[in-house]
Amino acid sequence: MTTEEKLLKIPILSWFVKLFLKIKVPGLEGMSLYNVLEMYVLGIVRGALTARAGGIAFSFFMALFPFALFILTLIPYITIEGFQAGFMDFIHQALPPQTFEAVDSVLNDIINNKYSGLLSFGFIMSIILMTNGINALFGGFEDSYHKLQTRSMIRQFLISMAISIVLALLLLVTVAVIIYFEIAISSFKEKGYVSDDLFWIDMGRYVIVLAMILITVALFYFFGTKEGRQISFFSPGAVLTTLLILLNFNIFGIYVRKFAQYNELYGTVGTLLVLMLFIWLNSIILLLGFELNAAMIGLKRNIKANNEQ
């Protein structure tokens, strides 16, 4: 007996199954929403999601400060006034509560180092280490239950390096856009076009950061695997992940402020535990969104195989 037949025998679930069977997914040649959800849940249950997320989170954590070194090395070459302060403010708002203090000391230490030139050993190592973080994520994608095609190790590393550099540039562009947007809103207020500049600044920041997260996730999914380009760039998985990341940030912030006692139990080490937990949760979310795309790719593969028979 198939899973579908079992679910149809359960009174309440049978209604949802029949409804989802009627909804056809565009681009899947008549396959229903139920088929996608069944493949998706199967990938989550059998895909060792938390174990894969743990490996990704560790590599991301190791790549976090090398990534910061890469960014901070490029900042002196950017001629926008107040860019470094804007970048630090962006990081402050992007991190979960009670973690910026520990990160801030490390970032200031990097800023004060004299070896941070474009040809320095530290800068080159930062590229390699941040590439390793992206490479671990892509490796986690390839370990999906849906058995996607894999690339060679060298090709995967080169693509990971390219995506790492693109993400760094995307972050710099995002900070620059936020700075120019705030200047524009202040100018509009002086001319009387807007009355509450703080509302528009907060709203603009939110939209800009939302767009950055969506583009970042879409880059991961589109280039993360060999078959990733079979789905549109702004894929359903990318949209789902973006929404879950925003939800996680808000819920996790409430949890840290109201319930977590890491700093009282572990002192300053508690800050790193909070940061690691935050990265691990977002790693799970990245895999959840990817599994949705992988399920659709798997269905397309099955459809193609059936048509060739």
For 122-143, b/e burial (b = at least 16 CB within 10 A) is ebeebbebbbbbbbbbbbbbbe
- Is position 247 within any domain? yes
d(CA 55, CA 287): 12
Mean pLDDT throughout 111-138? 73
* 250 CB-near residues (< 8 Å, 6+ apart): none
pLDDT bucket at 214, cuts 50 / 70 / 90:
very high
- Is position 306 within any domain? no
Task: Give the global pTM.
Answer: 0.81
pLDDT score for 278 = 85
* Percent of residues in the chain assigned helix, strand, coil, to nearest 5: 80, 0, 20
pLDDT bucket at 211, cuts 50 / 70 / 90:
very high
Residue 217 has pLDDT above 90, yes or no: yes
- Is position 19 within any domain? yes
pLDDT in tens, 136-157: 888 888 777 766 777 788 888 8
- Is position 79 within any domain? yes
Mean pLDDT throughout 67-92? 78
- Is position 309 within any domain? no
pLDDT in tens, 17-75: 777 767 766 655 556 677 677 767 767 777 677 788 888 888 888 888 788 778 877 77
- Is position 307 within any domain? no
Q: What burial class does residue 259 get, using C-beta atoms within 10 Å of its C-beta: 0-12 exposed, 13-18 middle, 19+ buried?
A: exposed
Placement of tokens 């090395």 in the chain: 73
pLDDT bucket at 260, cuts 50 / 70 / 90:
low
- Is position 10 within any domain? yes
- Total domains, the chain: 1
d(CA 7, CA 18): 10
- Is position 208 within any domain? yes
Range of 244's domain? 3-301
